[in-house]
Amino acid sequence: MADLVMDASGSPPGAQLALSLTGRNGTLVLPGIYKRQMISLDLDIAVTREIRMVGVLSHNSRAVRCAIKMAKTYPFEELVSHRFPLHEAEKAIRLTAGEIKHEKMPLKVVLDPAM
């Protein structure tokens, strides 16, 4: 279970999944907009695990326009520090968790099924 989980999907199943993945004394952040949908959450999970739930309104339309502009031009491929084939998924996870020391600190680790 995770200490911090965020659901930015804006979908009821996403919120329920995020809650189920949040561990004891963890924090669930909900920055998604659910479009006034009534969402059924198992609040017993939140109570028994003592989960802190935080709603966040994190942007406005101006910020979204800027983010879209950046996403169209930013060289995101440069952020990939490590690339692994699927059969090395465990190694990739261990590197990300800091269990494997590497000359280059992992920034973004990608599992590439085409490798």
Instruction: Count the alpha carbons within 13 Å of 46 in the hemisphere toward its beta carbon.
Output: 16
- The CATH superfamily of 2-73 is NAD(P)-binding Rossmann-like Domain (3.40.50.720)
Residue boundaries of the structural domains of the chain: 2-73, 76-111
Structure tokens belonging to residue 26: 């963890």
Q: Which residue numbers in the chain have pLDDT < 50?
A: none
* pLDDT for res 66: 81
* pLDDT computed for residue 67 by the predictor: 76
**pLDDT score of 21:** 95
The CB density around residue 92, as the number of other CB atoms within 10 Å, is 20
